Chain A
Amino acid sequence: MTEHAAATSRRLPRGPGATRPRRRGSAPTSPRGRRAFTILELEVSLVVLMGGLLCMSSLVTVQGKQMTRAEAWCRDAPTYYLVSQSNRWLRMLGASANLETEAGQAAWVPPVTGSHTYDPNVVSIHENLDAETMTVRVELFLIE
């Protein structure tokens, strides 16, 4: 055993329950040799925790404002007026009813009704001889 090792073994107590001597300026240690938290560390961690919670609280506040805006349509027991489609083509296509907030508003009128004049342009023609069907794609140009 060297002289240095012998000196070290003299300074360090051995056996169960023995405590290591604290170095100068080091944090207090438990009997098992683990370093404990200081009060300062505890206070800092609490401040950091509170800062995190405050950040979260701002998120909740923003979310609350957005939610208030998003549910504005149903907040005060609204009354909506449903207007069924009067155009039979729209009924065939299964278009949804028009939604109005006041009674007696004119329902939306599709642009294909009325006495407009269109210039048709045949884009493509597909014939299916097996099914005996023909699909024609036509573009309509409104003539002012």
Chain B
Amino acid sequence: MDRTPKRKRRGFTLLELLIAAGLSVGMVLITAQFWRYYSRQLEDLKARAHVAQELRIALGAIRRDMGPAVGATPVGADQVLLCIDGGPDPNGTAEWGAPDTLVTYSLVNGKLVRTDQASGVEIVLVDHVSGFTVEDITASLLQMTVAIEKGGISRQMVLRWSRP
């Protein structure tokens, strides 16, 4: 004799199950869409932050060298030679050799490289450089354009320097 009590619990109807399953699938789909959208947004934000940071580093380095610079001349389309006033008594005139310091900024394999001509030390300043152009706008105005691109985000800045 089976003494297990017979329960009279009503189960889910097919319609209830279908509605619940539909709601679940809808929520999962919405969640997946949200996730995909915000993942893309996060990637975009990371790329924008990286590009802005690289541009800031390039601007800082060029500013630092241009402060005491007394001469600059383009060497080709993607290279510039700076003459930095040096020595114990900077005289304010460009002497393309000692005691002044010569520094080159050039684009090498998508990197902006700073080279000290005297010591030959090369420093990679920024990466993901899509363009670095140097040109003389006028006889006294030099223009440098730095463009950075990463993850579909592209930014550029133009730097103009007047010869003293």
Q: A residues near B, CB below 8 A?
A: 21, 24, 39, 42-43, 46-47, 49-50, 53-54, 56-57, 60, 63-64, 67, 70-71, 73-75, 77-86, 88, 90-92, 94-97, 99, 103
Contacts and interface: CB of A to CB of B under 8 A. Distances in A.
A29 to B, nearest CB: 14
Contacts of A86: 92, 164
B60 to A, nearest CB: 8
A60 B51 CA distance: 18
A67 B162 contact: no
A96 B64 contact: yes
B63 A78 contact: no
Interface in B32-56: 34-35, 38, 41-42, 45, 48-49, 51-52, 55-56
A43 B23 CA distance: 9
A66 to B, nearest CB: 9
Given A88-B92, A95-B67, A77 B158 contact: yes
A79 B162 CA distance: 13
B145 to A, nearest CB: 9
B20 to A, nearest CB: 5
Contacts of B23: 43
